[in-house]
Structure 1
Amino acid sequence: MTWTHRPQEALRTAPALVNPAGLHDPTPFGYSHTAVVPAAAELVLVAGQYGSGPDGAVVSADFTEQVRQTFHNIGVALAAHGLDLSHVVQLRTYVVNHDVSKLGPIAAAVHEGWGTEPPTQTLIGVAALAAPDVLFEVEALAARA
């Protein structure tokens, strides 16, 4: 689904991601600046997902593997509602002991899932998450037109 710069008529029925002129291009970093969700849209909120398998155990101590598994889990959660990653308009990302080296794996995973039109995203560095082996967690907001 292409969302960027939709005509005003389309904004009434489908979410739109917009990266305004005058702001830097955020897409290489794995996010968009703004999203418009029409009033008639149904919202699906996905609680914080982390790099766990179906048993709830973290799949790997490796940060990159946890990132990949986390986004896979978001896809599974959305599928339960008949949605997929293309419906996501916002991510809230939590990274334990964040540093710049962690941006690459996150951006790569976002580009794999969303291509050149990633949702809005806020990255928050934290000291710890729910369990000591969880290094990465993401909340998602999806919209169905």
Structure 2
Amino acid sequence: MSRAIKHLIIGGLIMTISVPTAATANEDDLKLDIVNPKNLYDPSPNGYSTAVIVPRGARLAYISGQGGQDSTGALSPDFAVQVKQAYANLRTALDALGARPHQVAKLTVFVVDHDMSKLEVLTSNVKDMFGAALPAQTLIPVPKLAIDPMLFEVEAVVVLE
């Protein structure tokens, strides 16, 4: 927030005060700073970043877990189909906020019966959506999710402009 200088005349005295003013943030002011320290394993080939710094004064939005349901609530039994649909649902939620993928600071993904064979599907979908601006991410293997046929869920923390 910037400050404006105001002059007040009180009883013949001129007083100068600094008053906070609303500032309009531009896109560079709210840019996420992605950090992948050189002395740590580079996670970017796996579709995430080590850390993301949110700019001071930014507003955050939290998107609830998005599963692989289509608009009718139907779930494919196929893991890859559910992951693709979940990221499409996340994109729809971002659109509803007026946000874009580069504004996502953090993802948490939940995978039912996770094994290494699922990483390629996950990494491919994250890279398709986020490109080089990979958010911080945590994968949590779980035995089941809210609805039995669900195999995948993704939630996000978003910096709003």
| Bigger relative contact order (CA 8 A; separation at least 6) | 1
TM-score, length of structure 1 as denominator length: 0.88
1:33-85: CA deviations, max 9, x gaps? 00100221111110000001112221x11101111100110000010111121
- 2:72 counterpart SS class: coil
Q: What is the rounded CA distance, in whole Å, between the counterparts of 1:28 and 1:75 in structure 2?
A: 22
- Give the gaps of 5 or more residues in structure 2: 1-26
What corresponds to 2:105 in structure 1? 89
Q: 2:28, 2:56 → 1: CA distance?
A: 10
AA aligned opposite 1:123: L
Selected match of 1:21 from 38, 43, 51 = 38
Identity rate, percent: 41
Deviation at 1:12, TM superposition (A): 5.5
Q: Which runs of 5+ in 1 are unaligned?
A: 1-9
Counterpart for residue 5 of structure 1 = none
Q: More strand by proportion, 1 or 2?
A: 2
Query: What is the number of residues matched between the two proteins?
Result: 135
For residues 17 and 11 of structure 1, the distance between their equivalents in structure 2, rounded to whole angstroms, comes to 14
User: Whole-Å Cα distance in 2 between the matches of residues 105 and 92 of structure 1?
Assistant: 16
Using the size of structure 2 for normalisation, the TM-score is 0.80
* 1:46 alignment counterpart: 63
Q: Residues 90, 139 of structure 1: CA spacing in aligned structure 2 closer, same or farther, 3 A cutoff?
A: same
Find the aligned partners of 1:13 and 1:131 in 2 and give their Cα distance. Answer: 36
- 1:110 corresponds in structure 2 to 126
Cα distance in 1, alignment partners of residues 57 and 143 from structure 2: 38
SS of the residue corresponding to residue 125 of structure 1 reads strand
CA distance in 2, matches of 1:13, 1:55: 35
Corresponding residue for 1:138? 154
Q: In the TM superposition, what is the alpha-carbon distance from 1:21 to its structure 2 partner?
A: 1.1
* C-alpha distance in 1 between matches for 2:42 and 2:53: 18
Which structure would you say has the larger Rg? 2
- Alignment pair present for 1:67 and 2:100: no
Q: What corresponds to 2:74 in structure 1?
A: 57
